[in-house]
Amino acid sequence: MAVAAARCPALLIAAPASGQGKTTVTAALARLHARQGRRVQVFKCGPDFLDPHWLELASGAPVHQLDLWMNGERDCMQRLHAAAKHADLILVEGVMGLFDGSPSAADLAQRFGIPVLAVVDASAMAGTFGAMAFGLRHYRPGLPWAGVLANRVGSARHADMLRDGLRDAGDWMGALARVQSVGSAAGAAAKGGALLPERHLGLVAAHELSDRMERLDAAADALRDTPLGAMDIHALQRWAVDFPAPPAAAVVPPLLAGRTVAVAQDAAFCFVYAANVQTLRELGARVVFFSPLANAALPVCDAVWLPGGYPELHSAQLAANTGMAASLRAHANAGKPVWAECGGMMSLCDAITLADGTAAPLWGLLPGRVTMQQRLAALGPQQLAIGGHTLRGHTFHYSTCDSSAAVVARTRRPQDGPEAAAGGGEAVYRHGSVHASYFHAWFPSSPEAVAHLLGARAG
């Protein structure tokens, strides 16, 4: 029997470029409706670990990725259909500019019929705002459209000028002031700081700021006074979308049944897709979490996953935790697998040269040295062929790694042929039972490859 489509209001919040305020607006809209008792499900378009921290806090629900390449169309369809069955509102935060990347946020919006709300930083424009809105709406025929929100507006008069420049008055979803702040968030704003502050890899994680809810409430309060924020759930029905049920998914084989996988999770290791943990459980693993910063030893486990994060911000504390270093070394010496990605790999190296030029020791389980840089070293989607299967994911890092460990594989970009992996992509190092790379894997793309990295026996 065919499963019926599920209907729910939905918006994809996009922009002409990065840095326009997509995350702030998405979080504000989620917080505004969630604190009125509505069930809000937020997704993030494309690979991202930091924006979802804020979006989850604002909505009160886990945030998953949607990417037509990394997830695949069926996975995106399944997540949207499941969300529509229980949510009152679905929000999808775009990535980069609306038409940037392949696939882009516009591709996702068009594939599933999700109306686009464009957020435009209008701080340095007037009449051109209308041209920007017209171009975003009409550049691609058939793009579902909701309207445009002006961000970082200087005054009521400025907002009037922006609205008057629109070809279609119905596009106007309101204006947000250049600075939004209340309570302790006002201090950051008064110093020119952003409501959602950033560092080299993106937004500061929500759990690092004690006034995080005040910041979200400040954004929600500001949005409440716009035409968009004033809409109740009935008004939002104009953007209701029918999300079809996906075809049946392949059953995930229980390749990790009876095994315990320890996952690092704390301020230094916080780049964890919720779907990755879900995949480990679907593989049959028992998942336990530990903190390399706070715990003296690993929990009892058969395999370890060290995800990415900010080891460079916590290098002294990591090096000082000699008990954890010894426990990890004993685990690896026993031949038990370790999968370390990006920040996880960095922490296993002998030492790191920080951005200020100072050197600091690390755990020394992987021969080599990491050097921080002021500029991006790599960025973009990547795929890894390993264990007879292919994992999809991405790379995004500000450091380089010089290691003498054996390179057993290299990632490649989606558009590259297999021969391109020989000289490019991210190295996958192997040192004993440790596999390590700058590559961030999206586990649902190949549970079998994940099981291989975590020590599952073939067959």
Q: Residues 426, 294: one domain?
A: yes
Rounded CA gap, 133 and 118, in Å? Answer: 8
pLDDT-derived band at 375 (thresholds 50, 70, 90) equals confident
Tokens of 203: 């937004």
How many domains in the chain? 2
247-281 burial code (b ≥16 CB/10 A, e <16): eeeeebeebbeebebbbbbbbbbbbbbebbbbbbe
Binning pLDDT at 50, 70 and 90, where does residue 249 land? confident
Taking only Cα atoms into account, the Rg of the chain, rounded to an integer number of angstroms, comes to 23
**Does a structural domain hold residue 1?**
no
255, part of any domain: no
Q: What is the pLDDT of residues 400-457, one digit of tens each?
A: 999 999 999 999 998 876 555 455 789 999 999 999 999 999 999 999 999 999 998 6
Same domain, 46 and 194: yes
Digit-coded pLDDT (tens) for 125-159:
999 999 999 999 999 999 999 999 999 999 999 99
Q: Are residues 148 and 265 in the same domain?
A: no
| Predicted local confidence at residue 328, as pLDDT | 97
User: What local confidence, expressed as pLDDT, does residue 459 receive?
Assistant: 43
Residue 392 lies in a domain: yes
Over residues 384-390, the mean pLDDT reads 93
pLDDT band at 178 (very low <50, low <70, confident <90, very high): confident
In a domain, 400, yes or no: yes
Q: Which amino acid is at 369?
A: R
Is 296 in the same domain as 443?
yes
Residue 55 three-state SS: helix
* Same domain, yes or no: 220 and 265: no
Q: pLDDT tier at 197 (50, 70, 90 boundaries)?
A: low
Tokens describing residue 258: 């009876």
Domain end marker among 194, 217, 243:
243
Considering the domain architecture, whether residues 184 and 286 belong to the same structural domain is answered as: no
Question: pLDDT tens-digit profile of 312-352?
Answer: 999 999 999 999 999 999 999 999 999 999 999 999 999 99
Q: What pLDDT, in 10s, does the model give residues 277-308?
A: 999 999 999 999 999 999 999 999 999 999 99
CB distance 243 to 8 below 8 Å: yes
CA 248 – CA 260 distance, rounded (Å): 28
Tokens matching residue 428? 């996958």
Do residues 207 and 269 both lie within one domain? no
Domain match, 182 and 302 both: no
How many residues make up the chain in this entry?
Answer: 459
Q: How many other CB atoms are found less than 10 A from the CB of residue 44? A: 26
Of 184, 217, 243, the residue that ends a domain is 243
Judged on CB neighbours under 10 Å (0-12, 13-18, 19+), 209 is middle
Whether 250 maps to a domain, the answer reads: no
Closest CA to 373 of 357, 362, 361: 357
- The chain-wide mean pLDDT, for the chain, equals 90
Tell me whether residue 350 is in a domain.
yes
Examine residue 199 and state whether it is found in any structural domain, yes or no.
yes
Is the pLDDT score of 396 beyond 60?
yes
Domain end, chosen from 196, 213, 243, is at 243
Q: Report the predicted TM-score, pTM, of the whole model to 2 decimal places.
A: 0.89
Q: Is the pLDDT of residue 207 over 60?
A: no
Whether residue 353 is predicted with pLDDT greater than 90 in this model: the reply is yes
Same domain for 287 and 233 = no
Q: Two tokens at 292?
A: 């390399």
In this structure, what CATH number is given to the domain that contains residue 219?
3.40.50.300
Instruction: Report, as residue numbers or ranges, the catalytic residues.
Output: 342
CATH code: domain of residue 307: 3.40.50.880
The DSSP call for residue 298 is P
Q: What is the pLDDT of residue 199?
A: 41
Please tell me the predicted confidence (pLDDT) of residue 398. Answer: 87
Residues 289 and 431 in one domain: yes
Q: Is residue 80 part of a domain?
A: yes
Same domain? For 284 and 403 the reply is yes
Is the distance from CB of 112 to CB of 243 less than 8 angstroms?
Answer: yes
CA distance 360 to 285: 35
What's residue 67's pLDDT?
95
Contact 276, 252 (CB under 8 A): no
Contacts of residue 157, defined as CB under 8 A and 6 or more positions apart, other chains included, come to none
Structure tokens at 104: 């882009």
93 and 223 together in one domain = yes
Residue 172 domain boundaries: 6-243
Residues 176, 442: Cα–Cα separation, whole Å: 35
